[in-house]
Amino acid sequence: MAPGRWRQGRRFLRALLLAALLGPAACLSSSFYSPGEPQSSVRVLCGSNWSLVLQGQWMLEFYAPWCPACQQIEATWESFAKESEHLGITVGKVDVTQEPGLSGRFFVTTLPTIYHANDGVFRRYRGSRTLEDLQGYILERKWEAVEPVAGWKSPSSIMMHGMAGLFHFSGWIRQIHNYLTGTLGVHVWVSYAIFILATLLIGLLLGLILVLISDCLCPSKSKYRAETPEEAISKENAENAALEEPQDAAELSADDAEEAADDKDPSDGEDAANSSAEESEEDLALGKESGEEEMEDLSEQPLAEPETESTVRQRRSQEAEKEL
């Protein structure tokens, strides 16, 4: 049983590869009709020939076979295509179930969705879907009053190219899921687990690639690199100088203190001697003044008794000795 499933898996992968390689040919073959079917005037577009809408005037419908509203206007759209030669336009259609990339490129969110294109300028048709209204939209040039799609949302823009790729990728995922659950008989939750694991692994791989690219473009500087001999010597000298600075400062402070003490002692002795000399001089001056005052007092006082000149001289000599 298992070998048969693996053979089916290989066949499915081959079919996906052939669809990717032969997609344009398959799209072109679908635009032709078989001999047993009536010829259709509606142009079928796919991922390989959608760029035709960038030239000339087009009316393009996005539909799905299971959509009831799309089934209701199918006959009207076919009649509108038959009148396209008289209207000077080309009428086309896109099956969103077969072309998820185109539905993403035009950002189709509702069905059916109709676009008018005139030389690459796209406008969304929001009118009635009757044949008369569709013909009047072209004949009366009502599309000129409709605001065109913004440039960044245009199907030919870079952003819509990316959107088309995402939608196309989602279609592949849906096909793989249907194959796992339908053909191989894998449980739905097992299929979900496989996709989750694949998403994590792809995310890790992409993150690793981004990190490698960023390291190559902007390499980070290493914090711990090998020191050169010159740098090591300069670093050692700086450390020694930092250790010697406190010792030098302490020695300088001790020397300054000793010099200040030495300078202070002689100056204090000199100040004391000077102060004592000044005090002695002041005492002598005061003694002289007091002696003079006493002499004046003695001279002024009248002599009670007659004294001889010799006695007066003896007194003066004694007073002078006292002063000295």
d(CA 221, CA 109): 50
| The dihedral sign for the CA sequence 22, 95, 159, 212 | negative
How confident is the model at residue 65, as a pLDDT? 93
54 touches 117 (CB < 8 A): yes
Radius of gyration of the chain (CA): 59
How confident is the model at residue 122, as a pLDDT? 92
Q: Is 70 one of the catalytic residues?
A: yes
> Which residues contact residue 287 at a Cβ distance below 8 angstroms, ignoring those fewer than 6 apart?
323
46, 67, 216, 218: the active-site residue = 67
**pLDDT category, 171, cuts 50, 70, 90?**
confident
Q: Lowest mean pLDDT: which of 27-31, 89-93, 117-121, 272-276?
A: 27-31
Give the residue among 297, 294, 282 at the shortest CA–CA distance from 322.
294
Q: What's at 238, amino acid-wise?
A: A
H/E stretch holding 44: strand 43-44
Residue, of 283 and 242, whose pLDDT is higher: 242
Tokens read off for 301: 């006082």
27, 70, 216, 218: the active-site residue = 70
Q: Kindly report each contact of residues 171-174 with a partner whose C-beta sits within 8 Å and lies 24 or more positions away, as own/partner.
A: 171/100, 171/101, 172/16
d(CA 281, CA 109): 123
- 71 has pLDDT over 80: yes
Q: Is 218 one of the catalytic residues?
A: no
**pLDDT category, 76, cuts 50, 70, 90?**
very high
Q: Tens of pLDDT along 82-138?
A: 988 888 899 999 998 888 888 888 888 899 999 999 988 999 999 899 999 999 999
**pLDDT category, 80, cuts 50, 70, 90?**
very high
